[in-house]
Amino acid sequence: MARRPFDPSRAAGDLFGDSGKDRPLKSVSNDPATPRTGPTILGVSALSQRIRATLEGGIGTVQVLGEISNFRAVQGHWYFSLKDSEAKLDCMMFRSSADRSTCRPVDGIAVVATGQVTHYPPQGRTQIQCSKLEVAGAGDLDAQFRQLCTELRGLGYFDESAKVPIPSFPMCIAILTSAESAAEADCFDAVSTTFPATRVIAVDIRVQGAQAAEGIAHAIAAVDRSAQRLGIEVILLVRGGGSREDLWAFNERVVADAIRNCTTPIVTGIGHESDTSIADLVADVRAATPSRAVTEILPKRAILEEQLASLQRRLARGMATHFERARNRLDLAARARGLAEPASAILFHQSRVLRHATELASGMRERASLRERAFGVLSARFSRADPRNRLRIAQARTEVAVLSLRRTGRTLVEIALGRVESNSRTLEAIGPLTVLRRGYSITIGPGGSTIRRASTLVAGESIETILADGQVRSVVERVSERTERGSDGSSLDSRP
């Protein structure tokens, strides 16, 4: 038999009664005439409840900065302590809040915990029941968002050139969102309204919480690998509205990398129209809401029906015009004389053929006659000319030309010889040897130059005299210059 739990009322001798409510403890006075009053005696449960009510009502929600220690997770609930250099507080976070948290507690990190101070009577523990947990120094979600945007923009994640074009008529799409959520229902309703022929593959993912970002990235990669096999042409990443913290999984770097590396076009519809996530900026197309993500990529059934009706009208008009033109040509052909009276048409063309044949025969006879006359003229001219006479005339002309050339050559040679003999006689008459034979001589100085003036010689120099019959070498003993006088008897040149 199991033991009964401890009951303070029984331990106090039914001091508190069955109800366990507070009752004043009567004290005995030394003076029987004067009653005494003392402190109220409380049970442990009653005091615990009073402590809890006082803490929750007096302190309320707080934000505490501290260092995490002794972290542990039990069935999805988080238990840890916050401490600083002088104190320590116990903390806990229920699974529902832990799943939405973007911060993963690790011993030793500084965090800002938001929650309510409460007292847990079964263990007599005062603790903080946390509803939100942020990393200290990095808890500003806007700052984190701007920092990651700057980094990804520098890497080209937001460039339009990196966007994959959306097919005009996607016949199969994959919707990544939480199963049985409002976003999934809105997407299915939009498909049935916009273009029911589209095949939809729904992929269940966690859209918020600590592990949501990794799950989203894994789902995108898995669907992209199977897209060709399953015929998926577009991926829709959607979720309904929520707080900034609820949507934070779509602002993680791992999700941005998965979208960038995906070869299948991705369309996002996250939150409301005013919400903008990093996933929206990296995606190929960003829609304001989940349902808009569907309607923006699928062809509109009403528009397609109108286009089909317009094409049908154009086809009907074109066929009517074609048939009318064909009917007109048929009518013209039916009224043609050749078809109405084929025999007369045949006779007409037969007469044309006969006329052309007659003209052709006449032209051929005339051309043959012209060629015969030309041949007769050439034959007569050839018969009148005797080739032997022409050859004899040519030989005679050649002999005359040869004789004339010979006479001309002899005359030219004789004239040239006469000129040579005349030039030879002239050269001989004025040549130096002829002058030497007449008694003159040529004197050569020491340098080999001809002596023209006596003043150029000096006594003692060797000179050579050339005569008509030989040469004489001599030495100058004395130089005497001859004085020349002009016609008037004046002296022209003298030297003592």
Nearest to 347 by CA among 357, 356, 338, 336: 338
CATH number of 44-139, picked from 2.40.50.140, 3.65.10.10, 3.10.105.10, 3.20.20.70: 2.40.50.140
Q: Look at residue 32 in the predicted model and tell me its pLDDT.
A: 46
Specify the CATH class of 146-297 in words: alpha beta
204: which strand partners?
177
Count the Cβ atoms, other than its own, within 10 Å of residue 286. Answer: 19
Q: DSSP letter string over 118-148?
A: EEEGGGTEEEEEEEEEEETTS--HHHHHHHH
Q: Look at residue 267 in the predicted model and tell me its pLDDT.
A: 93
Instruction: Write down the pTM of the prediction.
Output: 0.42
Question: What residue segments make up the domains of the chain, in order of their start?
Answer: 44-139, 146-297, 395-430, 436-484
Q: DSSP letter string over 15-36?
A: SSTTTT--EEPPB--SSTTS-B
Nearest to 126 by CA among 112, 116, 135: 116
Nearest to 104 by CA among 211, 184, 248: 211
Rounded average pLDDT per 10-residue block, the chain, 496 residues:
46 40 41 56 79 76 87 90 86 89 79 86 84 70 79 89 87 91 90 88 88 91 93 92 81 92 92 85 90 86 78 88 87 70 72 85 86 79 66 82 85 84 76 75 82 82 84 84 56 43
Nearest to 176 by CA among 293, 92, 63: 293
CA 263/CA 153 separation, integer angstroms: 19
